[in-house]
A = this chain, B = another copy of it.
Amino acid sequence: MGLTVAVTGASGYAGGELLRLLAAHPELDVTTVTAASSAGTPLAATHPHLAAAPGLSDLVLRGTDPAELAGHDVVFLAMPHGQSAAVARQLEGSSALVVDLGADHRLSDAGKWESYYGGDHAGTWPYGLPELAGQRDALRSARRIAAPGCYPTSVALGLAPLLAAGLVEPTDVVVVAASGTSGAGRSAKVGLLGSEVMGAVTAYKAGGAHQHTPEMEQTLGAVAGAPVTLSFTPLLAPMPRGILATSTAVLKPGVTTAQLRAAMQAAYADELFVTLLPEGAWPTTAATAGSNSAHLQVAADTHAGRAVVTVAIDNLGKGAAGQALQCANIALGLPEATGLPVVGVAP
């Protein structure tokens, strides 16, 4: 018998992916799954891919109540943003490791929380992006972890090494990132119907409105040691999973592609889940689907005076469930890659 795990928000896409990963994890045993709106439903009726999952196929979704969550070694909160703070408060004093896949404990600036998300600020937990310099050590002793957003993960992995090395300017960063539709969640909305999204790339929350903007600026600002301002345009792409983030930043004078690549290589040489592709190969989301991997490429466009970084991840993998599990492995003292695929399911 391994450590016991509860997953809240288990009926959603991040929850479903986390359960897929946990089904194959040798040290963690899922004993409780909760989902307010689906309480009483067999797990496999909600998630057909779990129909034969060892240890999971007999579970029934329960309400997200303190009594249900008590007594587990690990609790993953996989709920829509704004909902995990209340559950986290119920777990105050618990010795369980709590990993929040939602946004509630990511931002340190209460004012930004209020203006982008609304409601009271719940406080700040250690940020679960292990590949950021210094971050892995901070996670080893954490009992509360705020897993990053999907877009911020892709943007931070791409730009952090360049900002840390002083190769690009922190101001006037421009990001356009295309996400698969699972990033929009599993609630039934006409705009997310297959009939609407297939054959369509669609912009949304453009012009500075997306709530991940302050998270990106916070993470990159800490790395740069200076305020970062960033224009962010998210796109919905006709695929279930994946993020392809294109980030550009103004090059410092004379910086070359070779220097940009060297900074990337130095940052990620020892990282199993972050791979700088060979020169000339640009990332594709398909290669990372179902995995916890990020694929990167970078070039100096000297004509335009910008560094161009593209990063591919699975928004449900390195962008959500995979990363949350990676953080949990670290905090639990397990081998960091336990239960985490490196290889994407392609084609």
Contacts and interface: CB of A to CB of B under 8 A. Distances in A.
Interface of A: 13, 16, 20, 23-24, 45, 47-54, 172, 174, 176, 178, 180-182, 184, 186-190, 192-204, 206-208, 213, 229-233, 235, 237-242, 244, 246, 248, 250, 257, 272-273, 275, 277-278, 281-291, 293, 295, 297, 299-306, 308, 310, 312, 341-347
**Copies of this chain:** 4
Given A54-B342, A272-B52, A198 B287 contact: no
Contact of A237 (B23, B189, B238): B238
Given A283-B202, A342-B23, A238 B49 contact: no
Given A186-B193, A290-B345, A342-B52, A172 B305 contact: yes
Contact of A233 (B16, B213, B248): B248
B201 A284 contact: yes
A289 B176 contact: no
Given A24-B341, A304-B172, A52 B181 contact: no
Nearest to A19: B343
B188 A283 contact: no
Contacts of A281: 45, 48
A148 to B, nearest CB: 20
Given A300-B207, A304-B208, A345-B20, A200 B285 contact: yes
A344 to B, nearest CB: 4
Contacts of A187: 190
B305 A343 contact: no
Given A174-B174, A186-B195, A237-B178, A206 B246 contact: yes
Contacts of A213: 303
A289 B198 contact: no
A242 B203 contact: no
16 contacts: A20-B345, A48-B284, A48-B295, A172-B304, A176-B246, A181-B198, A186-B195, A192-B194, A194-B197, A198-B238, A199-B347, A200-B242, A201-B239, A202-B286, A203-B284, A233-B308
